[in-house]
Amino acid sequence: EVQLLESGGGLVQPGGSLRLSCAASGFTFSSYAMSWVRQAPGKGLEWVSAISGSGGSTYYADSVKGRFTISRDNSKNTLYLQMNSLRAEDTAVYYCAKDQSGLRWPDAFDIWGQGTMVTVSS
Amino acid sequence: DIQMTQSPSSLSASVGDRVTITCRASQGISNYLAWFQQKPGKAPKSLIYAASSLQSGVPSKFSGSGSGTDFTFTISSLQPEDFATYYCQQYNSYPLTFGGGTKVEIK
């Protein structure tokens, strides 16, 4: 069964850092691009960042560029999001999502994780 | 960036009703359009990709159409489990962008 499991969320003070992880199973992880998508409380979905299957190419939303870093360890089947200089407006549930086919980039998402909550507050 | 405008933002409907949601892109995106369902407190679920193709396991009561800038999503006969928020998303180019969502509520 294809599965994504996020972890690493929590409460952090403004200006602080946090690293999220997304453990993948049930598919050849290195063959697929992956993304992070977030959802602030009561709001809609916002794409945050994406990384190619090899990890050699990355994209970021303007709202996080220069503060967040996406990476992956294909030997561990794990996706990461390093979040620095956190702000109150970064408070959200963060989801990882898998690209569908590995044949096109970007591609549709087919699988989502269950999400991990990040709260930025003093 | 490509803006996605989804309408309506909410609707009330009865079990058995046919429901249609529209999504408009600010520039042409071919058929690189997906639809997602999200229930309260849950992760989004992928329903449709390439504007009209159903994800594996998704029932045929869900359908999508469109190309270019104008797209529609339809539930042919609304069931109790379909009450949720639905989002469109373009994946033609980065940054990926979502519509604002349509909350489908019970009348």
pLDDT tens digit sequence for A79-121: 999 999 999 999 999 999 999 988 888 999 999 999 999 999 9
Classify residue B87 by burial, with Cβ atoms within 10 Å: 0-12, 13-18, 19+.
buried
Q: What is the rounded distance in angstroms from the CA atom of residue B64 to the CA atom of residue A8?
A: 36
Q: Using a CB-CB distance cutoff of 8 angstroms, which residues of chain B are in contact with residue A44?
A: 87, 98-101
- Express each pLDDT in A44-76 by its tens digit: 999 999 999 999 999 999 999 999 999 999 999
How many A×B Cβ pairs under 8 Å? 60
Contact by Cβ (8 Å): A50, A38? no
Tell me whether A68 touches chain B (CB under 8 Å).
no
The yes-or-no verdict on residue B57 having pLDDT over 90 is yes
Beta bridge partners of residue A92, listed in sequence order: A118
Contact by Cβ (8 Å): A116, A8? yes
Tell me whether A109 touches chain B (CB under 8 Å).
yes
Tell me whether A61 touches chain B (CB under 8 Å).
yes
Instruction: Report the residue of B48, B55, B91, B98 to disrupt the A interface, i.e. the one with the largest count of A CBs within 10 Å.
Output: B91
pLDDT reported for residue A87: 98
